[in-house]
Amino acid sequence: MGPTGDYQLLCLENPLLDIQAEGDESMLNKYSLKPNDAILAEEKHMPLYADLLSRKHALIAGGAAQNTARGAQYILPANTVLYIGCVGQDEYAEKLRSACSAAGLRVEYRVDDSQPTGRCGVIINGSNRSLCTHLAAANEYKLEHLQSPKIWELVKKAKFYYVGGFHLTVCVPAVMALAKEAAESKDKTFIMNLSAPFIPSFFKQQLDETSPYWDYVIGNETEAAAWAEAEGGDVKGKGTAEIALHMVGLKKANEAKKRVVVITQGTDPTVVAVQGEGKPREYPVRTIDTEEIYDTNGAGDAFAGGFVAGIVEGKSLEESIDMGQWLAKLSIKELGPQ
């Protein structure tokens, strides 16, 4: 049965305002950043945001799971997707609300009075994107907000929970509350995104706490390799297909649902492992001419949005992968994760 428009998909993570501007290698070196990477800001990175704002820049609603939620709502019937996170009491929060409203996405933010809305500095260097995130208010999300009567009623009504791995740096109890609700309800689906290599590398314990509850887990080849490196043992140093098979075989809380692992590989085929199947599947990527590529920032978020929309609609795995690839292709033709 397809979605009925009563907020069946609930997404949780860190709402951010992206500040995008072009920068060269010297700018990357100035802030000790890599050309294609995503990190959390340290004190030495704080001047970056003013630096970006001093250049020709764009302000775009961001935060990985918020991008995914907007993408899913773009496909799904009205009033299907709900997004939760924490923002400050400022104009940047209003920009996020306006962008989400325009996309038809309902947001239920916790508002923190002590911190400004989180921001992500995006240095554009050719086809490379370096992301440096200052969580600020996004780091102040609390379990109490999720479990408040108004929000928990929405949690109970939802059938699909999508959580970005970035939230494992913020409020693990909130992630686990959704994970356990899905498993105990039996008929609900918990979807996790690895989000960035530093999550499995430096927050492995938190990620491992969620792994028994993964009905779907999404990542790219770099994130999967980082997970395998942190996991160690026989899977360390293996290829994408072998890593996917290892992940799909991890202990599972709700054995009534088969786990599905989805690993994208840029222009190479998407690798999918399904619990109980001995060999991963591969799905070729939709081709796109180089001259059509405008901005790859958020392409992975868009893929997740299309894929999750397909799952919510009850589409087959093959159809859902294709929907993800279609939305990702659409996304990279625009500035930022529109």
Check if 301 is active-site: yes
The 3-class SS string of 23-79 reads CCHHHHHHCCCCCCEEEECCHHHCHHHHHHHCCCEEEEEECHHHHHHHHHHHHCCCC
Q: Which residues pair with 81 in a beta bridge?
A: 9
Kindly report the backbone phi and psi dihedral angles of residue 108, in degrees, each rounded to the nearest multiple of 5, phi listed first.
-125, 80
For residue 49, which amino acid is it?
Answer: Y
The pair of structure tokens assigned to 157 is 């009504």
41-65 burial, b if ≥16 CB within 10 A, otherwise e? beeebeebbebbeeeebebbbbbbb
Q: Which of 112, 215, 295, 301 is catalytic?
A: 301
Helices (H), 188-238: 198-202, 204-210, 221-231
User: And the tokens for 253?
Assistant: 């809380």
Sign of CA dihedral 198, 115, 335, 320: positive
Centre a 10 Å sphere on the Cβ of residue 249 and count the other Cβ atoms it contains: 13
Residue 238 buriedness (CB in 10 A; 0-12 / 13-18 / 19+): middle
| 196 contacts: CB under 8 Å, gap ≥ 6 | 38, 39, 165, 166, 223
| Residues taking part in catalysis | 301
